[in-house]
């Protein structure tokens, strides 16, 4: 079992390149299924979740090869419509393949995606939306058996919650459906815009992405295209957190400040000076951090739930008391207990966490509880007095490309053992 060993009390400085976005690459890889001709995704991150998605594509009969930072997908021999249990279990978000396989093949059989560390991860909204489009879905023996008895038809679907995955699944199923689909109260995340831009470049007709209502006009078929995956805004926020927690200054490269419009003000409230221009963000966090009155995680464009653990780690070092309210997932404070083992002063009451600032973290043996919680522990380890060992780092590798290599480039002292 691999672990990260971090010698603390480090300052970081220099330039960090942000890799392509995991939460865009995954739906984009699923979207390639809809195209009759090959697609090339550039700036595709080397992450275990991306490898898992490529394995699913290969299992379905596609040719999926990586060439440096690009992944090429050829769906000419796409024959299978079933995703077996062990592949579904590897990556919870593989539910996004459902809409694409149905759109292209009209049939799909996949096992219920396992829960994950953030809670049960229900898919009731995915199922209800696809049924409204004419999909028959039988849930039995842990499998979803989906078919289209008559036709996949466009329709108006109102979401009770702007679910990212549900919005993506509907978009993917609607591209080749008959007629127009409207998604009301759609997710507005930048990854949704990236997916729509990719599909339109392949020949789809999608409008309104990034707003609350998305229109998809069904077309007969689409091809593939060459596309650059957007930068990972959560990895960028993680690096900003690393500068904040170590009172350092760094420059981020290959990042879109617009995607962080609700994150940057929070770090500025902590006392960081942040300048952004073209595809760079410069962070000066040399002053001691101040607490932040309240952070509430919300759907985009609100403060992202994926940055909650990162902000919590930085706020542990801030003077005063901060309040964090997690509104998106019901079980996303598990990293708090591990931060407390490092000396943090955090009280969790349901979806509210109260963070009292401390002088410093102490190195300890801790365990990554989930992807972003694990990243938060890395940040705390950078700043801690002494050495920190983090186990269960497979969670971190799902969303961060060799996190230790990138941070060591700017002065961190992290070893993977």
Which residues are at the interface with ligand EPZ (CB under 6 A)? 22-23, 26, 93, 121-126, 161, 163-166, 305-306, 328-329, 371-372, 399
Active-site entry in 44, 62, 116, 316: 116
**Which CB sits closer to ligand EPZ, 181 or 248?**
181
Separation CA 75–CA 34 (nearest Å) = 8
Contact 6, 378 (CB under 8 A): yes
d(CA 149, CA 345): 57
Segment (H or E) for 321: strand 321-325
Nearer Cβ to ligand EPZ (121/319): 121
CB of 310 to ligand EPZ, least distance (A): 11
Name the minimum Å distance from CB 236 to ligand EPZ: 13
DSSP summary character for residue 97: H
Within 296-383, where are the H helices?
A: 308-315, 334-341, 371-383
For residue 49, which phi and psi values (nearest 5 degrees)?
-65, -35
| CA separation for the pair 257, 159 (Å, rounded) | 28
Q: Which of residues 190 and 271 has its CB atom nearest to ligand EPZ in the complex? A: 190
DSSP string, 193-214: HHHHHHHHHTT-EEE-TTSSEE
Smallest gap from residue 271 Cβ to ligand EPZ (A):
26
Nearer to ligand EPZ, 166 or 383 (CB): 166
Q: Which is nearer to ligand EPZ, 318 or 375 (CB)?
A: 375
**Pairing label, strands 226-228, 39-42:** parallel
Distance CA 397, CA 414 (A): 14
CA distance 299 to 304: 7
Residue 350 zone, left/alpha/beta (φ > 0; ψ -120 to 50; rest): left
Q: Nearer Cβ to ligand EPZ, position 108 or 318?
A: 108
Q: What is the H or E stretch that residue 349 is in?
A: strand 345-349
Closest C-alpha among 19, 413, 52, 378 to residue 228: 19
The minimum distance between CB 363 and ligand EPZ, in angstroms, equals 25
**3-class SS of residue 100:** helix
- Which positions ≥6 away from 271 have C-beta within 8 Å? 285, 287, 288, 289, 290, 318
- Give the 3-state secondary structure of residue 233: helix
- Kindly tell me which of 104 and 126 has the beta carbon lying closer to ligand EPZ: 126
Active-site annotation holds for 202 = no
Query: Which residues are identified as catalytic?
Result: 116
């Amino acid at each position: 079992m691999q672990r990260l060993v971090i010698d603390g009390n480090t300052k970081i400085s220099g330039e960090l390149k942000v890799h392509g976005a995991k939460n865009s690459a995954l739906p984009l890889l699923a979207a390639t299924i809809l195209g009759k001709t090959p697609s090339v995704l550039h700036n595709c991150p080397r992450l275990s979740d991306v490898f898992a998605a490529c394995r699913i594509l290969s299992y379905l009969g596609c040719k999926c090869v990586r060439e440096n930072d690009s992944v090429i997908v050829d769906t000419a021999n796409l024959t299978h419509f079933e995703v077996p249990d062990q592949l579904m279990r590897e990556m919870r978000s593989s539910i996004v393949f459902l809409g694409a396989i149905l759109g292209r093949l009209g049939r799909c059989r996949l096992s219920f995606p396992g829960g994950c560390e953030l809670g049960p991860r229900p898919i009731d909204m995915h199922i209800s939306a696809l049924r409204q489009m004419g999909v028959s879905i039988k849930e039995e023996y842990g499998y979803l058996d989906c078919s289209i008895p008559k036709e996949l038809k466009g329709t108006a679907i109102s979401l009770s919650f702007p679910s990212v995955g549900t919005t993506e699944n509907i978009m993917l199923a609607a591209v080749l459906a008959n007629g127009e689909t409207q998604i009301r109260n759609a997710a507005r995340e930048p990854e949704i815009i990236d997916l729509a831009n990719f599909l339109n470049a392949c020949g789809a007709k999608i409008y309104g992405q990034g707003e609350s209502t998305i229109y998809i006009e069904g077309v007969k078929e689409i091809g593939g295209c060459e596309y650059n995956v957007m930068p990972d805004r959560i990895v960028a926020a993680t690096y900003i957190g690393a500068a904040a927690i170590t009172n350092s200054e760094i420059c981020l490269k290959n990042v879109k400040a617009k995607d962080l419009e609700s994150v940057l003000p929070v770090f500025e409230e902590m006392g960081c000076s942040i300048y952004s221009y073209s595809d760079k963000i410069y962070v000066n966090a040399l002053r001691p951090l101040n607490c932040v009155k309240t952070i509430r995680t919300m759907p985009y464009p609100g403060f992202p739930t994926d940055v909650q653990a990162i902000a919590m780690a930085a706020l542990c070092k801030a003077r005063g008391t901060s309040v964090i309210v997690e509104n998106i997932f019901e079980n996303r404070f598990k990293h708090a207990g591990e931060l407390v083992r490092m000396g943090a002063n955090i009280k969790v009451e349901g979806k509210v966490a109260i963070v009292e600032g401390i002088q410093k973290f102490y190195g300890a043996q801790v365990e990554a509880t989930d992807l972003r919680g694990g990243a938060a522990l890395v940040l705390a380890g950078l700043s801690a007095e002494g050495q920190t060992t983090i186990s269960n780092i497979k969670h971190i590798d799902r969303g961060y490309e060799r996190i230790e290599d990138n941070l060591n480039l700017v002065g961190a002292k992290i070893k993977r053992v």
